[in-house]
C-alpha cells in the first residue's frame, strides 16, 4: 500500500478515516499493518524467509511462468515503475492506445 497510495490518495484517505478512524493515509496504512500483525498475516517478504538475494530467481520464475501462459508481452523489460505489476498495466495501456 505504501508504494501505491500516492496514485489514489483520496481512496486511501477514506479507508483510513472510515475503517480505522484516523486522519491520514500514513496512519491508515500503519493501522492496517498493525491489524495484519495482530492476526498473523505477513506483510513483508522477509517474514517468509525471502531475502534480496532471492529476488532474481523469483523474478526469473515469474517471467518464465508469464512466457508459459502466453502473457509475457504484458511485462516490459527495463520498466522503471516502483512496482513491477505497474509495468504490465502501463504496457497494456500502451498497446490499447496503439491499436485504437
Burial of residue 41, with CB atoms counted within 10 A of its CB: 0-12 exposed, 13-18 middle, 19 or more buried: exposed
Q: What is the pLDDT of residue 7?
A: 81
pLDDT at 78 over 50: yes
Q: What is the pLDDT of residue 97?
A: 46
Let me know: does 90 contact 81? Beta carbons within 8 Å. yes
Q: pLDDT by residue (tens digit) across 26-52?
A: 999 999 999 999 999 998 899 999 999
Domain positions in the chain: 5-39, 52-99
**pLDDT tier for residue 98 given thresholds of 50, 70 and 90:** very low
Return the C-alpha cell found at 98: 496503439
Let me know: does 48 contact 42? Beta carbons within 8 Å. yes
**Distance, CA of 52 to CA of 50 (rounded, Å):** 7
Q: Look over the chain and give the mean of its residue pLDDT values, rounded to a whole number.
A: 80
Angle value at C-alpha 83, between 55 and 68, nearest 5 degrees: 60
Amino acid at each position: 500500500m505504501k508504494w501505491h497510495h500516492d496514485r489514489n490518495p483520496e481512496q486511501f484517505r477514506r479507508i483510513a478515516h472510515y475503517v480505522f478512524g484516523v486522519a491520514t493515509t500514513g496512519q491508515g496504512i500503519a493501522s492496517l499493518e498493525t491489524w495484519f500483525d495482530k492476526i498473523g498475516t505477513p506483510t513483508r517478504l522477509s517474514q517468509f524467509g525471502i531475502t534480496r538475494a532471492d529476488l532474481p530467481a523469483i523474478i526469473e520464475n515469474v517471467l518464465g511462468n508469464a512466457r508459459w501462459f502466453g502473457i509475457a508481452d504484458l511485462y516490459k523489460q527495463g520498466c522503471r515503475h516502483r512496482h513491477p505489476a505497474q509495468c504490465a498495466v502501463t504496457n497494456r495501456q500502451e498497446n490499447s492506445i496503439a491499436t485504437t
